Amino acid sequence: MLLADVGASSAHLAVIDLSQRMLARTEVDVAMHDGPEPVLRTVETQLTHLLETMPAEVPVRAVVIGLPGPVDGTHGIPVRPPIMPGWHAYPVAARLSQTFRCPAVLENDVNLRALGEARALPADQVPLLFVKVGTGIGGGLVSREGVLHHGADGAAGDIGHVRVRGAPDDACVCGNVGCIEAVASAGASRGGSAHPGRRSPPSRCARSSHAGTPPRSRPSARPRPHRRARRHPGALLQPRTGDDRRRPLRGERRTAGRRAQRRLPARLPLATRNLVLTNSVLGEYSGLAGAAVLGIERVLSTDSIGQLLAQRA
């Protein structure tokens, strides 16, 4: 199975087997603003190279790719992605399916991270909202059953373009002003709105779940602080920068709790009594983990197994 977790400026690529064993992995630079042709050519070339490094031939049963923008998973196309000029309606899944002669799945990159994170956690630590703060800001929702929540058209959890009350009218890549992404993303922290052509610092991820105990996670390099983000209500879901990743984000939990309680009757703190805001467990590999989940579920689906048996008959 081939996996590609593609961000605005780099892509994690991997070959795995059905037991989730990583057979080969690499990371390559990409520039999403160059358009689909050069980026997908790089992804295809590097995945093919990974396959060639295998000691024996590996049959490819599925390809899963995550992209940093809204996608229509049913048709396998991006839908007007703000930081990906030229990608709208490009047949990403169809192209990869043709290249590798197997089913291909297209998903939003933050949804992949949310799914990977949810499956890495104990079953009682979902539902969760996963927030990625990088060149842009996105969110992914996973239900109590451990399933991605896409909403009616696949945009559920895409919080980056919600208007922040009281924020300055900073222009956002989506064409509006004052979006969370315009005031709190890594691009905004550099003094301007998110720019698709510039490499972002490591993203930080927040998890909120109905969980009593925060999970352990690995320490990681400290990112640059997003000072402007802290001044605005959009920082509600922003992880506190500069913290050791092993610590839960206690400050944010208090903030979320106070704000929720201001809106809810004092005797009904249901929304926040089990709320935990914390960092990612899997870090930069959460996207590949989520892609592995989707790929395995695709290969083991009744449709796929039926097709495989029909081919063998």
**Rounded-to-integer distance, Cα 83 and Cα 31, Å:** 10
- In the complex with Zn ion, the residue whose CB is nearer, 83 or 120, is 83
| b/e map 156-165, b = 16+ CB within 10 Å | bbbbbbbebe
- In the complex with Zn ion, the residue whose CB is nearer, 23 or 177, is 177
- In the complex with Zn ion, the residue whose CB is nearer, 142 or 174, is 174
8 A C-beta contact, residue 83 and residue 30? no
- In the complex with Zn ion, the residue whose CB is nearer, 65 or 180, is 180
| Least distance (Å) between residue 165 CB and Zn ion | 15
The angle, 0 to 180 degrees and rounded to 10, between the axes of the packed helices 109-120 and 286-299 is 90
| Least distance (Å) between residue 136 CB and Zn ion | 9
Cα-Cα-Cα-Cα torsion 207, 211, 216, 218, nearest 10 degrees, comes to -10
| Least distance (Å) between residue 196 CB and Zn ion | 13
| Least distance (Å) between residue 176 CB and Zn ion | 5
| Least distance (Å) between residue 182 CB and Zn ion | 6
Q: Which residues bind Zn ion (CB under 5 A)?
A: 161, 172, 174, 176, 179
| Least distance (Å) between residue 2 CB and Zn ion | 32
Q: How many CA atoms lie within 13 A of 299 on its CB side?
A: 19
**Rounded-to-integer distance, Cα 257 and Cα 246, Å:** 21
- In the complex with Zn ion, the residue whose CB is nearer, 78 or 283, is 78
- In the complex with Zn ion, the residue whose CB is nearer, 176 or 304, is 176
